[in-house]
């Protein structure tokens, strides 16, 4: 009856498509947060699938901090062109004018101004009542309590103590004007599921996930790629060409590379399966302090 | 941690193994300090699933927030929120993911202390198995009984009780057996399948992943052995087809597809189906899929998310259900259901309250017309009541404004599960499980004020040999009906009886007609719908009229929320004999009420007055 065995991934896919269709049907102005990384790649693929043969009934939104890897931006533009999608790019103009940068202001200020504030601006300007994102519950401890349909008040705040109970697959999608919902179709996926799905469907990913000779600087225990000359070298630092790849992608001065020779998806997966550390280890943003992600989420960070 | 890949395993071999791995969703519940977080931490730790950087962070956290004297505190692996680590409690349902060589697991970690009913019901709605923790020192508590009750109510097919802290009772077998007997007995009363009871020490890791040397008398499975061996519930493809329509996809005039997740059964091209609630029959034309994704399917089964087209231009939109035709089990199309509710809102449910109800993919306006009973979860006794408080469970009648497609929850979860949404706050006020749908209209419209047919029998008026003036002299009063109205808990009943006492002491004759008391007999057949509240008031007014004819003062204590119904009562009794007092108004004191009533029943027509 079926061409192949029903797997755990099929289960997760069916669930995610159900969530995407609920979001499209229940909200007036949904938007899909597209951040170019591997989770967004899976999310976008599922959105294309959920509404085929129509286009997804919502635009894509990318919060551009202006510090993304150049390869991410070209991958983004190519993806949008290939599928004929409606992409909105937003940058916090005020932050740009103030010259906020992850290098001079640190990850905390940069993330707050160029990501959290920027996201709020974009959501308010677009009057979006639902923002669909690719976050997973297994990413970080405070995300483990996140709902699939996660309510945000008028100030985009998340209150972990006042979340709506989520029963069966029946979301309560009701919001008042100005309130909104974050929607996470990949909530129940793990990092492994994401990679397996990408492999199974041969989805193109940003080449930065694959190992290659790249110019990196060792800084604060992390390998930072010098993607352009805005990364000034500190005393004693020098740019080295090393074979590295990235487990997660964000702003390049905040993304630590790992030394690896995995230059195909299969090798990446194999390396991941042998990994003994979590994927967020290479992210500066989570290391500020214990509970930092929780605080950023309360403020409206995705 | 150890690697996911076995030493000599190739990626290809792993992928094959992974594809055959099943996914089990289970929940853990227990009271505060029963050791739930420690149990989950222990499962992750002993299956070697903790990343090295997480372990390092855990060691740091254990020194600051740990309860193990600076030693590693596994509970901190799962207490995610800052407030939780600081307070040492778990606030909300947390979701955990781990896998062993055999299975993938999703854990819903349901905290027990605060909003336990709501958390437990939420977790249970996503899971097939519940692990309830019992502290070996304390035995079965109210919480234990409640957890098992909710698991049974939500229809979880598998129950496990983990008797924790066995090390603190010296691994006393007699103690364990007694607890096991208690738990089995309780589950038998609930009618759940026979549970498995396991003695453990989460702190020391006994019987979690590895068997324990401390319990040579225990021959059953460890927790992990259980989790890896219980059969995973998969939807049967032989079950009847239910496909609730989520979204209509119409990219052009030539294509009209219906998108949704198959909740039950399977569907194939050419199958005859019906669209409910309309009942129109048609056939499946395509199970459409993108060519780059493998193209159209010939068949699909639950729980696939699919897109189907139909051979006829039938009316079908979000909220409708595509179902198989015929078969023993058919959904009911109705506007009236009986359901069990888990009440989750801080504001109590009062009969007569209206909500938005979601069932399947349909959202309708719905009114809880009657609360049949509230369950005392400790004794399973059913108590008649007209409100349902936070975290209580009760049985209700619900009437919807538009037809809905339902099936008993026990037969078909997808068309038997519902939520009620508060119309103003948008809070999820309740989770509901349909027991039955009434395919017929709700109770036929009852005789009512406005539509009341003219009496065919004339009342035997004027037959009494006692004249009303004689009565007025004896009772020293002008008969009148005093309506004390207001919402529940506004004090109307208390004031009614205070007024009765006061009039008694003044030598008057008065009778209290309490709305709630009437419902125990005269109005036993009534619900709390607007219509039935109005009818209850009408009956009280009729009784009052009879009393007034005997010269007696009638004190009516009624919710009477509708001004129109109060006006009708006034008309029935006569405006000059009717006094309505709003008990929800602040500031009114009893003395003022007594004064007003006394002056009202001592008009100048009353002999002996003035």
* Residue A56 burial (CB count, 10 A): 22
How many angstroms separate the CA atoms of B22 and A7, rounded? 7
Convert the pLDDT of each residue in B205-231 to its tens digit. 999 999 999 999 999 999 999 999 998
Work out the pLDDT band at B585, boundaries 50, 70, 90: confident
Cβ-Cβ contacts under 8 Å for B533 (sequence gap 6 or more): B352, B526, B559, B560, B561, B562, B565
How confident is the model at residue B90, as a pLDDT? 55
pLDDT at A290 over 60: no
Mean pLDDT of B351-360: 94
For residue A270, the cross-strand partners are none
What residues 124-143 of chain A have any CB closer than 8 A to a CB of chain B?
137-138, 141-143
Mean pLDDT of B520-542: 85
**Closest chain A residue by Cα to residue B119:** A165
Q: Which token pair is A158?
A: 């998340």
For residue B373, the cross-strand partners are B395
How many angstroms separate the CA atoms of B298 and B288, rounded? 9
How confident is the model at residue B58, as a pLDDT? 77
B471-601 folds as: Rossmann fold (3.40.50)
Query: Which contacts (CB < 8 Å, 24+ apart) does range B3-12 have?
Result: B3/A273, B3/A274, B3/A275, B3/A276, B4/A192, B4/A273, B4/A274, B4/B99, B5/A270, B5/A273, B5/A274, B6/B101, B11/A266, B11/A269, B11/A270, B11/A273
- Cβ-contact A210, A245 below 8 angstroms: yes
Mean pLDDT of B412-437: 95
| Best CATH choice for the domain B11-229 from the list 1.20.1070.10, 3.40.50.300, 3.40.50.170, 3.30.1600.10 | 3.40.50.300
Highest mean pLDDT (candidates A266-270, B174-178, B367-371): B174-178
How confident is the model at residue B374, as a pLDDT? 94
How many angstroms separate the CA atoms of B207 and B224, rounded? 8
pLDDT at B250 over 90: yes
> Taking CB atoms and an 8 Å limit, are A145 and B93 in contact across chains?
yes
User: Which residue in the set B11, B61, B126 is minimally distant from A269, CB to CB?
Assistant: B11
How many angstroms separate the CA atoms of B239 and A222, rounded? 55
> Taking CB atoms and an 8 Å limit, are A172 and B426 in contact across chains?
yes
- Cβ-contact A59, A89 below 8 angstroms: no
For an interface test with B, the pick among A57, A58, A169, A175 (most B C-beta atoms closer than 10 Å) comes out as A169
Say whether residue A144 is in contact with chain B using an 8 A CB cutoff. Answer: yes
How confident is the model at residue B569, as a pLDDT? 87
Say whether residue A298 is in contact with chain B using an 8 A CB cutoff. Answer: no
pLDDT at A2 over 50: no
Mean pLDDT of B589-607: 76
How confident is the model at residue A155, as a pLDDT? 86
> Taking CB atoms and an 8 Å limit, are B305 and A163 in contact across chains?
no
> Taking CB atoms and an 8 Å limit, are B82 and A291 in contact across chains?
yes
pLDDT at B55 over 60: yes
**Quick one: B332-438 is in which CATH superfamily?**
Translation factors (2.40.30.10)
The domain ranges of chain A are: 8-194+291-299, 205-287
Q: Which carries the bigger pLDDT value, residue A183 or residue B474?
A: A183
Cβ-Cβ contacts under 8 Å for B431 (sequence gap 6 or more): A165, A167, B121, B122, B125, B341, B342, B344, B417, B418, B419
pLDDT at B572 over 90: no
Mean pLDDT of B458-470: 68
pLDDT at B491 over 90: no
pLDDT at B277 over 80: yes
> Taking CB atoms and an 8 Å limit, are A290 and B61 in contact across chains?
yes
Work out the pLDDT band at A1, boundaries 50, 70, 90: very low
- Cβ-contact B288, B307 below 8 angstroms: yes
- Cβ-contact B163, B181 below 8 angstroms: no
Query: What ipTM, to 2 d.p.?
Result: 0.89
For residue B504, the distance in angstroms to the closest alpha carbon of chain A comes to 52
pLDDT at A122 over 90: yes
**Closest chain A residue by Cα to residue B263:** A169
> Taking CB atoms and an 8 Å limit, are B421 and A174 in contact across chains?
yes
How many angstroms separate the CA atoms of B598 and B607, rounded? 14
pLDDT at B113 over 70: no
Mean pLDDT of A185-210: 94
Q: What percent of chain A has pLDDT over 70?
A: 89
- Cβ-contact B607, B472 below 8 angstroms: yes
A8-194+291-299 folds as: Rossmann fold (3.40.50)
Mean pLDDT of A246-271: 92
**Closest chain B residue by Cα to residue A290:** B82
Mean pLDDT of A25-37: 96
How confident is the model at residue B21, as a pLDDT? 84
The domain ranges of chain B are: 11-229, 242-324, 332-438, 471-601
How many angstroms separate the CA atoms of B432 and A141, rounded? 31
How confident is the model at residue B445, as a pLDDT? 38
How confident is the model at residue A8, as a pLDDT? 85
Mean pLDDT of A16-32: 97
**Closest chain B residue by Cα to residue A200:** B15
Mean pLDDT of A126-146: 88
Q: What percent of chain B has pLDDT over 90?
A: 51
What residues 159-178 of chain A have any CB closer than 8 A to a CB of chain B?
160-161, 163-170, 172, 174-176
For residue A54, the distance in angstroms to the closest alpha carbon of chain B comes to 5
Rounded to a whole number of angstroms, the CA Rg of chain A reads 19
Cβ-Cβ contacts under 8 Å for A67 (sequence gap 6 or more): A101, A102, A110, A114, A230, A251, A252, A253, A254
pLDDT at A278 over 80: no
Work out the pLDDT band at B327, boundaries 50, 70, 90: confident
pLDDT at A264 over 70: yes
**Quick one: B242-324 is in which CATH superfamily?**
Translation factors (2.40.30.10)
pLDDT at A85 over 70: yes
Convert the pLDDT of each residue in B159-210 to its tens digit. 999 999 999 999 999 999 999 999 999 999 998 888 999 999 999 999 999 9
Same fold flag, B242-324 and B332-438: yes
For an interface test with B, the pick among A46, A150, A165 (most B C-beta atoms closer than 10 Å) comes out as A165
pLDDT at B12 over 60: yes
Q: Provide the edge-to-edge strand list for the sheet that holds B129-135.
A: B94-99, B103-110, B22-29, B129-135, B158-164, B196-199
How many angstroms separate the CA atoms of B543 and B408, rounded? 41
Flag the least confident range among A33-37, B31-35, B470-474. Answer: B31-35
pLDDT at A97 over 50: yes
pLDDT at B283 over 60: yes
């Amino acid at each position: 009856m079926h061409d192949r065995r029903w797997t755990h991934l099929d289960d997760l896919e069916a669930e995610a498509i159900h969530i995407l269709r609920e979001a499209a049907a229940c909200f007036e102005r949904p938007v899909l947060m597209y951040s170019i990384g591997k989770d967004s790649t899976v999310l976008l693929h599922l959105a294309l699938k959920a509404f085929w043969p129509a286009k997804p009934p919502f635009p894509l939104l990318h919060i551009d901090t202006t510090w993304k890897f150049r390869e991410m931006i070209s991958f983004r533009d190519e993806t949008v062109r290939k599928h004929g999608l409606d992409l909105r790019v937003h940058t916090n103009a005020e932050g740009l004018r103030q010259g906020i940068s992850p290098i001079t202001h640190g990850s905390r200020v940069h993330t707050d101004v160029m990501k959290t504030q920027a996201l709020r601006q974009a959501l308010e300007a677009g009057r979006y009542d639902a923002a669909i994102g690719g976050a997973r519950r297994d990413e970080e401890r405070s995300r483990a309590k996140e709902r699939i349909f996660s309510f945000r008040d008028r100030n985009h705040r998340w209150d972990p103590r006042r979340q709506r109970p989520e029963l069966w697959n029946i979301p309560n999608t009701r919001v008042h004007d100005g309130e909104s919902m974050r929607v996470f179709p990949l909530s129940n996926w793990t990092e492994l599921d994401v990679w397996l799905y990408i492999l199974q469907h041969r989805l193109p990913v940003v080449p930065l996930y694959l190992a290659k000779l790249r110019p990196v600087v060792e800084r604060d225990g992390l390998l930072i790629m010098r993607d352009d000359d805005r990364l000034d070298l500190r005393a004693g630092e020098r740019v080295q060409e090393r074979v590295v790849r990235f487990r997660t992608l964000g702003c390049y001065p905040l993304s630590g590379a790992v030394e690896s020779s995995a230059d195909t998806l299969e090798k990446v997966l194999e390396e991941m399966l042998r990994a003994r550390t979590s994927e967020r280890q290479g992210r500066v943003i989570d290391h500020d302090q214990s509970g930092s992600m929780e605080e950023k989420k309360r403020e409206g960070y995705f | 941690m150890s690697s996911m890949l076995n030493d000599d395993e190739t990626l290809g071999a792993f992928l094959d193994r992974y594809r055959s791995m099943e996914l089990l969703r289970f929940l853990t519940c227990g009271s505060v300090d029963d050791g739930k977080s420690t149990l989950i931490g222990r499962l992750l730790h002993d299956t070697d699933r903790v990343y090295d950087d997480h372990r390092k962070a855990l060691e740091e956290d254990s020194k600051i927030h740990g309860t193990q004297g600076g030693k590693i505190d596994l509970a901190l692996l799962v207490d995610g929120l800052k407030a939780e680590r600081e307070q040492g409690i778990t606030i909300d349902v947390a979701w955990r993911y781990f896998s062993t060589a055999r299975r993938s697991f999703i854990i819903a970690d349901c905290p027990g202390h605060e909003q336990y009913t709501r958390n437990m019901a939420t977790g249970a709605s996503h899971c097939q198995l519940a692990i309830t923790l019992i502290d070996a020192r304390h035995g079965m508590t109210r919480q234990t009984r409640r957890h098992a009750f909710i698991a049974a109510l939500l229809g979880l097919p598998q129950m496990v009780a983990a008797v924790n802290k066995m090390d603190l009772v010296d691994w006393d077998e007699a103690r364990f057996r007694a607890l096991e007997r208690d738990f089995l007995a309780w589950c038998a009363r609930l009618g759940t399948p026979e549970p498995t009871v396991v003695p453990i020490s989460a702190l020391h890791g006994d019987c979690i992943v590895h068997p324990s040397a401390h319990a040579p008398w225990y021959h059953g499975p460890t927790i992990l052995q259980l989790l890896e061996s219980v059969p995973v519930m998969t939807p049967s493809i032989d079950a009847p087809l239910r496909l609730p329509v989520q979204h209509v996809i119409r990219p052009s005039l030539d294509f009209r597809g219906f998108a949704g997740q198959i909740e039950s059964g399977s569907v194939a091209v050419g199958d005859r189906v019906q669209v409910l609630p309309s009942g129109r029959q048609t056939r499946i034309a395509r199970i459409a899929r993108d060519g780059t994704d493998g193209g159209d399917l010939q068949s699909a089964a639950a729980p696939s998310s699919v897109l189907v087209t139909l051979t006829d231009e039938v009316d079908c939109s979000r909220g409708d259900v595509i179902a198989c035709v015929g078969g023993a089990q058919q959904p009911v199309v109705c506007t009236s259901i009986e359901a069990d509710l888990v009440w989750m809102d801080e504001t109590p449910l009062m009969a007569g309250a209206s909500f938005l109800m979601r069932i399947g993919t349909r959202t309708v306006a719905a009114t809880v017309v009657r609360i049949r009973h509230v369950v005392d979860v400790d004794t399973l006794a059913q108590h008649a009541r007209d409100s349902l408080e936070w975290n209580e469970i009760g049985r209700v009648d619900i009437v919807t404004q538009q037809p809905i497609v339902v099936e008993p929850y026990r037969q078909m979860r997808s068309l038997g599960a519902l939520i009620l949404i508060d119309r103003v706050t948008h809070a999820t006020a309740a989770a509901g499980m349909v027991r039955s749908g009434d395919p017929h209209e709700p109770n036929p419209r009852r005789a009512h004020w406005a539509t009341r047919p003219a009496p065919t029998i004339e009342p035997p008026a004027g037959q009494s040999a006692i004249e009303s003036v004689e009565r007025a002299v004896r009772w020293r009063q002008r008969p009148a009906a005093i309506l004390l109205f207001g919402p529940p808990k506004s004090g109307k009943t208390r004031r009614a009886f205070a007024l009765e006492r006061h009039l008694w002491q003044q030598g008057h004759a008065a009778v209290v007609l309490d709305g709630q008391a009437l419902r125990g007999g005269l109005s036993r057949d009534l619900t709390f719908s607007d219509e039935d509240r109005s009818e209850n008031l009408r009956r009280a007014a009729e009784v009052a009229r009879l009393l007034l004819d005997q010269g007696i003062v009638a004190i009516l204590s009624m919710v009477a929320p509708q001004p129109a119904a109060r006006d009708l009562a006034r008309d029935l009794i006569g405006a000059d004999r009717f006094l309505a007092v709003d008990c929800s108004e602040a500031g009114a004191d009893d003395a003022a009420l007594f004064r007003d009533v006394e002056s009202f029943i001592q008009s100048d027509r009353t002999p002996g007055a003035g």
